[in-house]
Structure 1
Amino acid sequence: MELTAKKIILGLLLVSDGRPLTVRSLIDACALFGIKENNVRVTLTRLSAEGLIAARGRGSYMLGLPVQQLADQVATWQTMEQRLGLWQGGYIAVYTGTLARSNRKALRQRERALEMCGLRELDRDLYVRPDNFQGGADFIRQRLHALGMEREAAVFAASDFDTVRLASIARLWDTDALNAHYQKDRQRLEDWLARYDQLDADVAAREVYIMGAQAVRSLVFDPWLPAPMIDEDARHAYLETVKRFDDTGKALWDRRFQIRIGMPYMTEEQPTSGVLQ
């Protein structure tokens, strides 16, 4: 994972629970990854000019309003499992064929919202996912809107697909890869938790940041599929390990930088125009 001042600053602010972070703490955090103070200060000025962050008092910054709603949705990875309900074989569908494709920013937000809600394209402009969240279509609709998707999109419950499409739906998610990821990454995190107290403080802080960002991102974008499509026990065990890893990261960063944060969520590419891509 290539880390830049922009990624680190936005990643930390995204998980700061709405609390402002001081310029000095952001400079110290970036220094851990070899990023110089001048680079951090220039980046802060640019992010502020773009509206992605906002000054809060003297020498502190917090997220700008365009990004705060995304931060709220990112934070739901810890409680998403509690929102699951019993799957009775139905689906939630979203039709985007009436939405414009010329606005690249809106298109990026739409694609990210669909992915974060576990929706996959079945037919052109028709996306589906299992209807296994409490609240059904209304829950998915509200979350899509909160993630920046246009309200004109049709979101509805769907059932009685023909056998060909049912077979296609079953192939939309690589469930074998998901199950393997739950087990493999859980073991990787558990191995680190068993040895991190033997590491130098800076090495531990750096490693927990990078590993935590990767683990949190995988849960932010997890489709939260129901059984029998997925191994729910393996996913639950992975979630619990990531929560413990997150708690460890909070303690390490608080002790090292006096920054009380959760582990950062970072995309492969950070935002250039108001929202995370």
Structure 2
Amino acid sequence: MYYFQPLDPKDVSPRALVLSLMSSAFTAPQSIGRLINAAALFGIEPATLRVAVTRLQKEGLLESPDRGVYQPGPKSKALTRRVQSWKDVSSRIVPWNGDWLVAITGHLGRTDRKQVRARERALALSGYKETETGFWVRPANLARDLEGHRADLVGIGADEAISLLRVSERALSGGAEWETLWSTADLARTYAEAIDAMTTSLKQLPSLPGDQAARDSLLIGQAVIRTINFDPLLPPELGDQEGFLRMVETMVAYNKAGRKCWQTYHAAMEADDKKI
């Protein structure tokens, strides 16, 4: 689970910046020139940015459909689609009848640390919490059927052999209560903080210099999108679903404003390049 906190410009690495730009909902394939211009906002040198792009290509996270142009690579396309779907998140949930989804991972092993990280990221992105080793749960209020949901998990990094169950009755030892795995108060607070940050920024963006407006919109926007994507999508019986959907609605407006900021910034940078 991820609680909202605006990104710090000092913490934006070349790798993270490129992947963030590639996963933006309005992003088409990006030229190296635009990536370099974006990096300049965070004090990242062109040579450093090029090294990051080359490494991401080698890892299969980027590919180049044309000379000097980049888009998500074969190893990141499914995850990129998942990140980009934040605007449609409300369509992924249905009313909850009290059932639970259980992911069994104990048989998958933990020796391949890279795969363990990918597995746990996929489960976290899908709102699961681990109750004990190899046993993850979440409310069964997702619109996808069980097999489709399992395919989604595999598509974003979970093991092909992961097992899912839908449980309607429970007899748990030690008074364990799955309903308490998430903090409703913390989630409600993070929704309110994200909405406040976006609302305040929307008032300020028009008066900021173009470069600062683009940078600030990315720092806040990417943090909110990450909050949306890592949200457990709890039903109203367990969480502040109304507050969550209000945050998503506010982000739709903020995304439009951020897109305009970036278009203005790129246009200004490209106009300057032509003068040289």
TM-score, normalised to structure 1, is: 0.88
Q: How many equivalent residue pairs?
A: 259
Unaligned runs of 5+ in 2: 1-7, 269-276
Distance 1:165 1:118 in 2: 24
Task: Report SS of the residue matched to 2:103.
Answer: strand
1:230 aligns with 2:239: yes
1:62 to 1:166, Cα distance in 2 relative to 1, 3 A = farther
Q: Superposition pairs for residues 124-143 of structure 1, below 5 Å?
A: 124-143=133-152
Indicate the residue corresponding to 1:5 in structure 2: 14
Q: Deviations over 1:62-85 (max 9, x none)?
A: 221111111011112211211211
Structure 2 residue corresponding to 1:192, chosen from 201, 205, 215 = 201
Q: Report the Cα offset of residue 258 of structure 1.
A: 5.1
Contact 1:175/1:230, CA 8 A, preserved across alignment: yes
Indicate the residue corresponding to 1:159 in structure 2: 168
Distance 2:18 2:148 in 1: 31
Indicate the residue corresponding to 1:217 in structure 2: 226
Contact 1:136/1:157, CA 8 A, preserved across alignment: no
1:65 to 1:231, Cα distance in 2 relative to 1, 3 A = same
Contact 1:113/1:147, CA 8 A, preserved across alignment: yes
Distance 1:197 1:254 in 2: 13
Task: Report SS of the residue matched to 1:245.
Answer: helix
Indicate the residue corresponding to 2:60 in structure 1: 51
1:248 aligns with 2:274: no
Unaligned runs of 5+ in 1: 260-277
Indicate the residue corresponding to 1:265 in structure 2: none
Distance 2:26 2:200 in 1: 28
* Segment of structure 1 superposing worse, 171-180 or 53-62: 53-62
| Letter paired with 2:189 | A
Residue identity (%): 29
Contact 1:73/1:146, CA 8 A, preserved across alignment: no
1:248 to 1:166, Cα distance in 2 relative to 1, 3 A = farther
Indicate the residue corresponding to 1:180 in structure 2: 189
Which one has the bigger helix percentage? Answer: 2
Q: Report the Cα offset of residue 140 of structure 1.
A: 2.6
Distance 1:96 1:163 in 2: 19
Structure 2 residue corresponding to 1:89, chosen from 98, 105, 115 = 98
| Letter paired with 1:82 | S
Distance 1:153 1:138 in 2: 11
1:141 to 1:55, Cα distance in 2 relative to 1, 3 A = same
Q: Report the Cα offset of residue 135 of structure 1.
A: 3.0
1:27 aligns with 2:74: no
